[in-house]
Structure 1
Amino acid sequence: MRVVLAGSHGLLGTALTHELAQRGISAQRLVRRPARSPREIPWDPVLGRLNPADLAGVDAVINLGGASLARLPWTASYRRTIVASRVRPTALLARTLATMPDPPPVWLQASAVGFYGNRGDEILTETSEPGSGFLADLVRRWEAATAPAEEAGVRVVQLRTGSVALAAAGGSSSGLILRAIRMGVGGPLGPGTNYWSWITTADHAAAVAHLLTADVAGPVNLTAPHPATQREVIATLARALHRPAVMRVPATLLRLVLRDVADELLLSSQRAVPGALEDSGFRWQHPTIADAARWISAQD
């Protein structure tokens, strides 16, 4: 299988590159500079440059790119960067694939459970209606940008990744949480009753690799099958790391410091369940937060 991967150097892209290598799949990387080896393909999403000939004969394209949501503050300028870094490359890939006489048959495109907005304890499936807010609006535009490729017959999968990606070494989604716990100053953020749809980076990589050949198209919730409240996630991680988790941070303080980012990222609730992924036959290494915590503590 010949796979082309964008966003290969991020937390999820690094884990996926390793997973593909374990399966004997070597990925060519899309890079935003001149190629330095045959394993690289140059492109420029800002200027809209991607040579369709470079994708000829490719079996699948995977795009995990996007500016970090963990970078603060979200100024008006950085919000534009967040949007452009997702929508513009996705639209370029869609246009390129749509113009090819024989496009790659599969495109796995990053997305997020932020699509659903803040939904309390409502169980969210791939057929649930979109929510509201900055992230929900962004994800709608992000996913809509894939339309030309879908219309050209490409099997497009939108990878609605959980709000928290748990990595043994931390990472953009979980690094601050784990560092606070290891320092003994972890605890619930606000009431802690909001749901976090989480997934480990190992399961995320395995799921993406699985979807290369699974008979699935459209949105797929890339989450563990058992979403947990934020309070439960933090408490379970703290127990596994033998640290306390009693330093509650008031929601008012979070909003004072982080403004609306607190509600969009930390206090928002998405109880998303991975129905499409489960129906496709995928099996998790870490289906519960206790499993994930043991995996993290074993490498601590």
Structure 2
Amino acid sequence: MRVVVAGSSGLIGTALCRHLTTSGHDVVRLVRRAPSSPSEIRWDPARDELDPAALAGADAVVDLAGVNVGTRPLTRARKREVVDSRVQTAGLLSRTIARLPDGPGVLLQGSGIGAYGDRGEDLLTEDEPIGTTFFAEVVREWEAATRPAQDAGARVALLRTSIVLSPHGGALSRLLLPLRAGVAARLGSGRQWWSWITLEDEVRAIEHLLTADVHGPVNLLAAADRHADVLDALAREWGARLTVPAPEAVLRLVLQDFASEVVGSIRAVPQVLTASGFTPRHPDVRTAAAWVREQSRRAS
């Protein structure tokens, strides 16, 4: 398949492009800088600039673009940047697909498991409504931007990605710093549900969805576990000792909107992904933690 990837320089995008290329797919990367190879095409979503020829002849588009939400404080300006960097790219790609008479028939649109908000013990399938937190509202706008492609008849799958376990970046990177130093501190009570997937299974799931007859929201996760259980499994792999937990009240004060991502409880279920025939290689937190540790060793 010829697959166009937006957001190819991020954690998931980098791994996905490598995986798809190894699997024999023809991968085209959309970049905001001057292209450095024939497989790269420049675009500028902030200026609504994309040559339709970039998508002509492609079988599918995967949009993983968007600024990292955890690297800077979520000021009003930063929140606008978080929204715009996602909605502008999704909208531009969707409109371009809709305008092409023989354009890509598939759009796999990046999204997030934060769509549901903090839901405690509730089991969350794709049928649940979008929540009311900041990140849930981001998802609402993000996914709505794909409407032109849907109306034009493209198969659009909305990738509601959970916490991606990897030693190379993402949400887990903050936890790994103290683990490597031999300590681990739970965030809040530790009883909140974390929906998670390893980076390897994330890219495998995306490749699977290129051809699976799936449309609409898809919860991308292997499992959901208590935060304390995830941390315990990681601590065991690193031989780290547990220290005093970080109080939830302090985390919410310091992290503000981002706190919902770490102390909020999202007990998602991969209902659509499982029904489509996908099986994760790391289905439980122990095998996932062992994989993360092995990847960390290889990188050191």
With the shorter chain as reference, the TM-score category is over 0.9
The equivalences for 1:97-246 within 5 A come to 97-162=97-162, 164-167=163-166, 169-224=167-222, 226-246=223-243
Deviation at 1:82, TM superposition (A): 0.5
Specify the code of the residue in structure 2 equivalent to 1:202. E
Specify the code of the residue in structure 1 equivalent to 2:117. G
Deviation at 1:217, TM superposition (A): 0.8
Root mean square deviation, CA, Å: 1.2
Q: Structure 2 regions of 5+ residues with no counterpart?
A: none
What is the aligned partner in structure 1 of residue 50 from structure 2?
50
Specify the code of the residue in structure 1 equivalent to 2:207. A
What TM-score does the superposition give when structure 2 sets the normalisation length? 0.96
Q: Structure 1 regions of 5+ residues with no counterpart?
A: none
- Residues 124-149 of structure 1 show CA distances to partners (whole Å, capped at 9, x for unaligned) of 00111111110001101100100000
Deviation at 1:18, TM superposition (A): 1.6
What is the aligned partner in structure 2 of residue 278 from structure 1?
274
Q: Is 2:182–2:238's contact at 8 Å kept on the other side of the alignment? A: no
Count of equivalent residues:
296
- Residues 245-280 of structure 1 show CA distances to partners (whole Å, capped at 9, x for unaligned) of 233111122123223322x21111111111111111
Specify the code of the residue in structure 2 equivalent to 1:166. L
Deviation at 1:228, TM superposition (A): 0.4
Specify the code of the residue in structure 2 equivalent to 1:50. L
1:55 and 1:257 map into 2 onto residues whose CA distance is 43
- Residues 186-233 of structure 1 show CA distances to partners (whole Å, capped at 9, x for unaligned) of 121111111111110000000001111111111100011x20011111
The equivalences for 1:247-258 within 5 A come to 247-258=244-255
Specify the code of the residue in structure 2 equivalent to 1:285. R
1:172 and 1:2 map into 2 onto residues whose CA distance is 27
1:277 and 1:123 map into 2 onto residues whose CA distance is 15
Does 92-101 or 177-186 show the bigger shift? 177-186
1:53 and 1:17 map into 2 onto residues whose CA distance is 20
Deviation at 1:237, TM superposition (A): 0.7
3-state SS of the aligned residue for 2:28? strand
Deviation at 1:298, TM superposition (A): 2.5
Identity %: 47
Q: Is 2:70–2:258's contact at 8 Å kept on the other side of the alignment? A: no
Deviation at 1:59, TM superposition (A): 0.6
Matched, 1:83 2:79: no
1:20 and 1:275 map into 2 onto residues whose CA distance is 24
What TM-score does the superposition give when structure 1 sets the normalisation length? 0.96
